Chains A and B, each alone.
Chain A
Amino acid sequence: MNITNLFKIALKAIGANKMRSFLTMLGIIIGVSSVIIMLALGTGSKATIMQEIEGVDPGALNVIPGPSYEDIDGNWLPEYSQTITQADYQSILEKNKYLKAICPMVYTSGQFINGKNNHSGSVQGVNNEFLDINGLSISQGDMFTDPEVKGASKVCILGKTVVDKLFPNEADPIGAVIRINSIPVRVVGVLKSKGRTAFGQDQDDIVLMPYTTVMKRMISQDYFDMIYVAATSKEMASLAKQDLTEILRENHKLREGDIQDFRVNSLEEATSMVDSVMNVLTLLLSCIAGISLLVGGIGIMNIMYVSVTERTREIGLRMSVGARTVDIMSQFLIEAILISVTGGLIGVLIGSGISYLARFVLLNFTEYHILISVEPWTVLLSFAICTITGIFFGWYPAKKAANLDPIDALRYE
């Protein structure tokens, strides 16, 4: 019998027992829709995180003051915030072997005033390597120069949100002098907008100034809040981390067993951690989905046995008019596959529907802008899994049907 006719027979058999077929599919529907939703959430979160660090130098590292919380049992002392010194910065500059960019950073908050407009936010004191390391760029004007950093010039770069607040009439901010904590500062550039993070944080609400200016003229602080660095490449990041650690330990005269009073974090480690967390999560969710598919498959197997028993006489008749073993076998296999794949199709529709609804709700009604998206490969995977489920769980019932003795089958009451 040809495949089209086999499909017609299977459709008819399923149609004859609509409710039963639907209930049988339910396991598959739940399994597949959860696979789709989980994978959409997984890939969406990953894409969102990746998007956030897009442009950031892949070899980026941070040097942060203070020991790790585990080393001090959470007993943070005020002096821990002051362990990255000017001397450390100098040593890194002189001794580093694997770095291509180094940017010290001091942080303060500020009140920004331009005439009648004012806004408050944070100020980062940095040098001109800040942009490259963090994947930022200037959309208007220019970054402040090295001499301006050395000379502690009163210049600044504004983020888009700050520009919008201080220059509401689309006036040109470049060259304007604003007041930051009552110090007059000249605007030399505007950062290209980055929008909000997935967790709702406005990345354009930022003001950059030379770190020297902040340290000398604004907060008179002689330690750094952080040092941004970039290794020569992503692969060099872990060597660079070792190198930085050695330089600073030497500077801080730390001996074996002493609590290390600074930390070096690399972007590479952070992303691979995100990756492995995501992978574990995906694996876990796949297991749950797998179990529901297994349960669904067993449901199919059960109903196929019922179907074979109910149609014993029909099988006998088909055999008596010339159906071969392979004809009967394929008839029931196709029925099982069709139940499973139809369940899969409904599952894909429901799963995608819920995924995109969740995406819509997240984007429009919350601050969590996770770009949930159903990847085509997950749909293909679902159909492949359903086909395999159908074949696997349909096999024994189909074999039972095909191995029936035609005479016994015809006589079956």
Chain B
Amino acid sequence: MAQKPVIELEGIRRDFVVGEETVHALRGVSFTIHEGEFVTIMGTSGSGKSTLLNILGCLDTPTSGEYRLDGIPVRTMSKTQRAVLRNRKIGFVFQSYNLLAKTTAVENVELPLMYNSEVGSRERRERAVTALQRVGLGDRLNHKSNQMSGGQMQRVAIARALVNDPAVILADEATGNLDTRTSFEILVLFQQLHAEGRTIIFVTHNPEIAQYSTRTITLSDGKLREDRMNDTILNAADKLATLPVEEE
């Protein structure tokens, strides 16, 4: 495998000072993720998963350690530089969707491109429509966020994460608010995106989901406890077929 590294972490530490105490959320985490990997990050609640993902997504900076995203060292960057980096290289999917209220699907998906002055309004609209078609919402472009189900909203969020053609898609408990069937529908989508060559990092505390990714990194108390390539990767679409269709 001569894939190029997308994420390189060396001795990442993150301390939070809360009053008199210091919380060591990450205590020296190192790993490398290559292009095209589908990585799940596992661990119990409070193990540091979200803290790690925030650092990967350039929303937060490590207290110490080195982080290179797509070859670019992030630690020394200014706030503005990190904002631009997020805009061009990162796609976020959140547990709670975080769509703009009373705003159509296509406008929600356009949002990252709004902050990219290189993309004109025509191209922005076209790319948003393409991304929505990709997640199966080609017929719901002008539905407002409050007129959609949870699964549909998360699809819009995924389209929004895709629209800037990011180096990596970061998902934090992206299926956490969804029922089993809808969760698997979303998982099918992630597997498809992976099959198309996307790099995905998926944070979850649900061990079942890890079986559908190519690699599982397990955190425990801020440290990397296990980093394992998955030999047998299950197909989410197969699993979805076995699930009972819920009555409307």
Contact = CB atoms under 8 A, between A and B. Distances in A.
Interface of A: 1-2, 5, 16, 313-314, 316-327, 406-407, 410
B76 interface: no
Interface of B: 54, 57, 59-60, 79-80, 83-84, 86-88, 92, 94, 98, 100-102, 111-112, 114-117, 160, 164
A320 B116 contact: no
Contact of A321 (B54, B60, B79, B92): B92
A320 B101 CA distance: 17
A5 B121 CA distance: 10
A319 B83 contact: yes
A320 B160 contact: no
A2 B117 contact: yes
Q: A316, A317, A319, A323: which has the most chain B beta carbons within 10 Å?
A: A317
B83 A324 contact: yes
A1 B117 CA distance: 7
A322 B112 contact: yes
Given A314-B100, A321-B87, A1 B57 contact: no
B156 to A, nearest CB: 12
A75 B200 CA distance: 102
Contacts of A407: 54, 59-60
In order of increasing CB-CB distance, the 10 nearest A-B pairs are A322-B87, A321-B112, A322-B115, A324-B83, A317-B98, A322-B86, A406-B59, A324-B80, A320-B92, A323-B115
B115 A324 contact: yes
13 contacts: A313-B98, A318-B111, A320-B57, A321-B87, A321-B111, A321-B164, A322-B84, A322-B87, A322-B115, A322-B164, A323-B115, A327-B115, A407-B60
A406 B98 CA distance: 13
B88 A410 contact: no
Given A321-B160, A322-B115, A410-B98, 17 more contacts: A1-B115, A16-B102, A313-B98, A314-B101, A316-B98, A317-B111, A319-B83, A320-B86, A320-B98, A321-B87, A321-B164, A322-B84, A322-B88, A323-B115, A326-B80, A407-B54, A410-B59
B57 A321 contact: no
A5 B114 contact: yes
B170 to A, nearest CB: 10
B117 A410 contact: no
Given A407-B54, A410-B94, A410-B98, A322 B116 contact: yes
A325 B79 contact: yes
A4 to B, nearest CB: 9
Q: A318, A321, A324, A406: which has the most chain B beta carbons within 10 Å?
A: A321
Nearest to B51: A407
A321 B115 contact: yes
A316 B87 CA distance: 13
Contacts of B54: 407
A317 B54 CA distance: 13
Contacts of A1: 114-115
A317 B79 CA distance: 15
Nearest to A314: B100
Contacts of B83: 319, 322-325
Contacts of B101: 314
A402 to B, nearest CB: 10
Contacts of A316: 98
B145 to A, nearest CB: 12
A313 B160 CA distance: 16
A327 B59 CA distance: 16
Contacts of A313: 98
Nearest to A409: B59
A286 B81 CA distance: 46
A246 B98 CA distance: 89
Nearest to A326: B80
A319 B111 CA distance: 11
A5 B88 CA distance: 19
A318 to B, nearest CB: 7
A384 B111 CA distance: 32
Contacts of B92: 320-321
Nearest to B79: A325
Contacts of A325: 79-80, 83
Contacts of B86: 319-322
Contacts of A323: 83, 115
A324 B80 CA distance: 6
A407 B117 CA distance: 24
A406 B101 CA distance: 18
A16 B103 CA distance: 11
Contacts of A320: 57, 59, 86, 92, 98
Nearest to A5: B114
A3 B75 CA distance: 31
A2 B120 CA distance: 10
Contacts of B164: 321-322
A322 B85 CA distance: 7
A313 B99 CA distance: 10
A350 to B, nearest CB: 30
A324 B98 contact: no
Nearest to B163: A321
A325 B116 CA distance: 14
Contacts of B87: 321-322
A324 B112 CA distance: 11
A311 to B, nearest CB: 9
Contacts of A324: 79-80, 83-84, 115
B100 A317 contact: yes
Contacts of A5: 114
